[in-house]
Amino acid sequence: MSTAAHTALIIENARLVHTAGTQAHTDAHSSTVYVLNGHIVGVDQKPADFPEQAERIDAQHRLMSFALADLAVRLSEKGGSRNHVMADVLHAALRGGVAHVACLPDANPILDEPRLITQIKRQAESLDLAEIYPLGALTQELKGEQLAEMATLVEHGCIALSQADEPIRNTQVLQRALAYAASFGLPVWLRANDSFLGGGFAASGAYASRLGLSGVPVAAESIALFTLFELLRGMGKNAPKVHICRISSARAVELIRAAKTEGLNITCDVNMHHLHLIDSDMGYFNAQMVFTPPLRSAADRTALCTAVLDGTIDAIVSDHTAVNADAKHLPVGQTQAGAVGVQWLLNSVLHFAQENHADAAHALRAVVAEPYAVLGLNAPEWVNGAAANFVIFDDSTHQTINESYIQGRHLNTPWLGYELSGTITQVIHHGRMI
């Protein structure tokens, strides 16, 4: 972007976090990174022609990672328009060190027409904040009946096709959609949910029964995965690349792990809240704990955490969903599902690492290198020419998620008033300090 032009920046005393490749680690020593015109031009070696007049940042031996990528962000209020919300979301993303966001197609209006893709990209470019990667609707109006104009959507800037949270009930339509997408080399992003079993506000089980809430069984996820995997097997080498969004159960982990071992061309992600919370955290009808898919058991959470650490789950996402206060004050059985959170995705991942006694760099692979790959980007490395999108943070401190901290007007989050790990001290975007 033009605002990065001719910007010279020196970042001193930074411990670099490496997430590319198989050996994620954090340097024990501190480095100096030289940035010019939005790109790295030197690491621990000043270029001979580097400008004498340059801005300086002293990282004070804190960690510095490449900026994060979030694969599940809504740029409009749930059930509302993008007016004002889009700017709030992209500001929040950048404040949290997230430079790349995949925006889901269930916006208002639904992203099923080329003009809407062009419009949203122009709007994002004018804001000059986090970069967006639009997902086009797989079917018209996300109804799961008629295929959208996939090729045209991609020509206008979509990186993949998705149904967001909407199912395709007709298996024949799903098969046609997969085949059509494959013929153009287009990735398909799907959430595994059997529509006849998947309606409800809590995970099926004793807890939902005690509260009298409609339950969503694990089978809603596993049946959808069985169907999808059988269709992909039948297509053989002609199958498209499929990204499975926001899995929630131990059974899903088992099926995906086996499918990957088998060689199916799939990746998957998990909502960050499912790595910290379980169904009983809903307490007495806490609407802030209502998610799609629902929070599940402690055993499911353990399986999800293990799958992130062993690489079965490729990415951790915020599933950022702005919901107005009135909708969240409705009874649990009527409330809108979802929470905001792109701003503290990094804090959530650091918290996850600490809770699971994992190295921070290893956990950060799920919000840097791996989601970059899903977006079609090269995993960032500390070499000359790499884009200068960084976040500097202290992983030994904590961040309180309160109203003064939250960017934007939406406060629907289960973390309000709580602490998460890490404190962001500086964000560098396109080579300039934010």
In tens, the pLDDT along 300-338 reads 999 999 999 999 999 999 999 999 888 888 877 788 899
Can you list the positions of beta strands (E) in 245-344? 266-271, 315-317, 320-322
Give the C-alpha separation, 364 to 358, whole Å.
10
Q: Give the DSSP letter string of 102-170.
A: EEPS-SSS-S-SHHHHHHHHHHHHHHTSSEEEEEEESBGGG-SSSB--HHHHHHTT-SEEE-TT-----
Rounded to 10°, the helix 298-310/250-262 angle is 30
Per-residue pLDDT of the chain (434 residues; tens, 9 = 90+): 344 446 899 999 999 999 998 899 999 999 999 999 999 999 999 999 999 999 999 999 999 999 999 999 999 887 666 667 999 999 999 999 999 999 999 988 899 999 999 999 999 999 999 999 999 999 999 999 999 999 999 999 999 999 999 999 999 999 999 999 999 999 999 999 998 998 877 888 887 787 777 789 999 999 999 999 999 999 999 999 999 999 999 999 999 999 999 999 999 999 999 999 999 998 878 889 999 999 999 999 999 999 999 999 999 999 999 998 888 888 777 888 999 999 999 999 999 999 999 999 999 999 999 999 999 999 999 999 999 999 999 999 999 999 999 999 999 999 999 999 999 999 999 999 99
In tens, the pLDDT along 380-401 reads 999 999 999 999 999 999 999 9
Domain-by-domain residue ranges, the chain? Answer: 2-64+385-398+419-433, 78-374
Residue keyed to tokens 């008629």: 146
Q: Is residue 377 helix, strand or coil?
A: coil
Torsion angles phi and psi, residue 428, rounded to 5? -115, 125
* Residue 140 neighbours by CB distance under 10 Å: 15
Kindly state the helix (H) or strand (E) to which residue 429 belongs, with its residue range: strand 419-429
CB of 373 closer than 8 Å to CB of 341: no
Fold of 2-64+385-398+419-433: Urease, subunit C; domain 1 (2.30.40)
In tens, the pLDDT along 21-64 reads 889 999 999 999 999 999 999 999 999 999 999 999 999 999 99
In this prediction the pTM is 0.96
Torsion angles phi and psi, residue 268, rounded to 5? -155, 165
Q: Which CATH superfamily is domain 78-374 in?
A: Metal-dependent hydrolases (3.20.20.140)
CB of 111 closer than 8 Å to CB of 105: yes
Six-digit token pair at 209? 């029964």
